[in-house]
Amino acid sequence: MSGLKGKLSACVGLGSAVLLLVSLASCQVFNDSCPVSTPEVWGKGLPVDMDIRREYVRQCEAPVGNFLADAIRHYDYGLDLGESSVLIGLINSGAIRDGVECGSATSSRERIPKGPITDQDIYQLIPFYDDTIVVVKMTGSQLKRVLERSVSSLNFSGTEGQQGHFLQISGKQGIKVEVDCSKPAQTLNGPGTEIATPGQRIVSMCLKSGDQCFEITPTASYYVATLDYLVGEDDGVANDGFIGFHYHEGDEPPPEVIQTYIPLIDVVHAWLVDYESTIEAEYPENASEILKTYPSVEGRLTYTSCDELAGICGTQ
């Protein structure tokens, strides 16, 4: 099951000898493994509902995905990156769940309503909460391989197109990735150990600065924050097929993985507390307008010839 391989213990969380049920639809965490007895409000809440349905977050730019990717990118990991900084945050949509029990929460829900957000909401949303964050130094060409894997299942009908390796993304001051579903998708070899077809669906990717968007270039290096699971392997097979986090060729330097050992749950908690002040500092001229509808669909991902997604992602 995409997103679960080698990580079933993360579903169990803090409990021991708990009942665990894994199905193709969801990862159920039962009450005795949820570290919430009395829900506690984290931060001031959000002004909008967040749609967390599987078919939505695994194929579309989703506000909940933007929120989580922003949390991963903004956190201060205490790393010495010289004059550089973390420019990009990624989270696989398989880590975002709509069918998990936690405390008094029911096992199935389609959205997190606007208003106060509790720890129960977050533990229910990201049952792999003990995943830690890594920061990866990688080239633009390696990042493109990762993003090609992300969009490789788009435009397939039904559950075939709802794969957990689809990534939600964040970029400093904004990011834009253009996807053309009519182009060849990245494929892997039979064992999943090599890229068989590189993929050509990512037609452009750029990081915003003011009114401009600067191309992510193949040879430049970028710091990318993501889950440790996504850069891992199981018996030589890259988790979720993300060979781009491992592969390099010629004189291209291999991706450099820096462990932070900071759990995802701590990162999300900090963002819920600090997101308003951070956005006000990052976008001083229009922060008030952004905060009225944050998180929202911003055009981080734009699709061409992805007809299967029209009724799911809307005009995206």
248-292 pLDDT tens trace: 777 678 999 999 999 999 999 999 999 999 999 989 999 999 999
**Model confidence at 14: pLDDT above 90:** no
Q: How confident is the model at residue 108 (pLDDT cuts 50, 70, 90)?
A: confident
Compute the mean pLDDT over every residue in the chain, rounded to the nearest whole number.
Answer: 87
State what percent of residues in the chain have pLDDT above 90: 73
Per the model's pLDDT, the better-predicted residue between 213 and 102 turns out to be 213
Could you identify the residue written with the tokens 């894994």? Answer: 22
Q: Are strands 132-139 and 187-188 parallel, antiparallel or unpaired?
A: unpaired
**Model confidence at 151: pLDDT above 60:** yes
Q: State the pLDDT at residue 106.
A: 65
Q: Would you call the peptide bond into 295 cis, given omega within 30 degrees of 0 as the criterion?
A: yes
**Model confidence at 10: pLDDT above 80:** no
Q: With left for phi above 0 and alpha for psi between -120 and 50, is residue 69 left, alpha or beta?
A: alpha
Q: State the pLDDT at residue 309.
A: 94
The average pLDDT across 217-243 equals 95
**Model confidence at 32: pLDDT above 70:** no
Q: State the pLDDT at residue 74.
A: 97
Q: Cα separations (Å) of 37 from 19, 123, 148, 233, 316?
A: 18, 12, 41, 34, 39
Q: How confident is the model at residue 6 (pLDDT cuts 50, 70, 90)?
A: very low
C-alpha span between 68 and 62 (Å, rounded)? 10
Which residues make beta-bridge pairs with 170?
89
Q: How confident is the model at residue 36 (pLDDT cuts 50, 70, 90)?
A: confident
Q: State the pLDDT at residue 314.
A: 76
The average pLDDT across 192-220 equals 95
**Model confidence at 2: pLDDT above 80:** no
> Which amino acid is residue 177, in one-letter code?
V
47-84: pLDDT as tens digits: 999 999 999 999 999 999 999 999 999 999 999 999 89
Listed by start position, the domains of the chain span: 61-95+132-313
The average pLDDT across 30-36 equals 61
Q: Is domain 61-95+132-313 given the CATH code 3.40.1280.10 in the classification?
A: no
Angle between the N-to-C axes of helices 63-74 and 264-282, in degrees from 0 to 180, rounded to the nearest 10: 90
**Model confidence at 170: pLDDT above 80:** yes
Q: How confident is the model at residue 27 (pLDDT cuts 50, 70, 90)?
A: very low
**Residue 59: what are its φ and ψ, rounded to 5°?**
-140, -15
Q: Residue 255 is encoded by which pair of tokens?
A: 């991706």
> Which amino acid is residue 148, in one-letter code?
E
Could you identify the residue written with the tokens 């990862």? Answer: 27
Helix (H) or strand (E) holding 11: helix 8-12
Tell me 41's DSSP state. B
175-188: pLDDT as tens digits: 999 999 999 999 99
Q: Among 31-40, 125-134, 178-187, 273-282, which is the least confidently predicted range?
A: 31-40
**By three-state DSSP, how is residue 244 classified?**
helix
Q: Residue 281 is encoded by which pair of tokens?
A: 């500092």
The average pLDDT across 216-233 equals 96
